[in-house]
Amino acid sequence: MSIPEDLIMRHLNMLLSSSVPGSALHHLHIVSRVAGAVGPLGLSFEQQLETDISAIAPDSPASGERPEEFIARSIRAAGARLVDQGREVLFAGLSEEGWFVERMDALGRRLQREGRLAEHPDVVEATGVYAACRDGRRWRGRRWLTGPKAGQSDDLELLVGRPTRGEGRLFAEPFLLALVGLGGV
């Protein structure tokens, strides 16, 4: 059960390129089909697929919950809505904007624990992307929004084999894996 590689790459490229510095938006892309609708050799025809794209603004959740809880709830709600519609998720990807220090030091670790990493003198803003497909393939990548690498992207990395904890470098990874049926939470 898979979807065309070019469709996956289009979504990954959109996820990597849809962020701007300071916007604090995350983007969720889900590709689904009617449950059980399969073409020859287990492939889905593009016309059988439906795409849902959501922007998630974790910096302003209405209920006062932590941003991570808000994002997780948003991902779960999107998946539940699709299940209610009789659809199965074939691909799920999330772009997550955040602050990074490439060479993490003691100050960076302390500021990160305190939720103030943006105050580090060497901090840069970047978009991290993690995506998973029902057939087991996963991808991760990063695009730098500020700092010396601004505008550059790391090469998208294809991950195969059994998913491992933390492979996507995003906290939402288990929720995306669960959406496509690869475990998770």
Tell me, what DSSP letter sits at residue 48?
G
Range of the domain at 81: 5-97+128-142+158-179
Asked whether residue 16 is assigned to any structural domain, the reply reads yes
pLDDT of residue 62: 61
Closest C-alpha to 146, from 178, 113, 123, 172: 123
Give the span between the Cα atoms of 142 and 98, in whole angstroms.
Answer: 11
Q: Is residue 111 part of a domain?
A: no
* Domain membership flag for residue 108: no
114 located within any domain: no
The answer to whether residue 28 is domain-embedded is yes
Asked, for residue 135, whether it belongs to a domain, the answer is yes
Residue 109 lies in a domain: no
Query: What is the mean pLDDT of each successive set of 10 residues along the chain, which is 185 residues long?
Result: 82 89 86 77 71 81 73 92 93 91 91 89 93 93 90 89 84 91 75
Name the DSSP class of 42.
Answer: G
Work out how many domains the chain is built from and give that number. Answer: 1
Q: In this structure, what token pair is assigned to residue 50?
A: 């439906």
pTM of the model: 0.85
State the pLDDT at residue 127: 92
Nearest by Cα to 140 from 172, 180, 184:
172
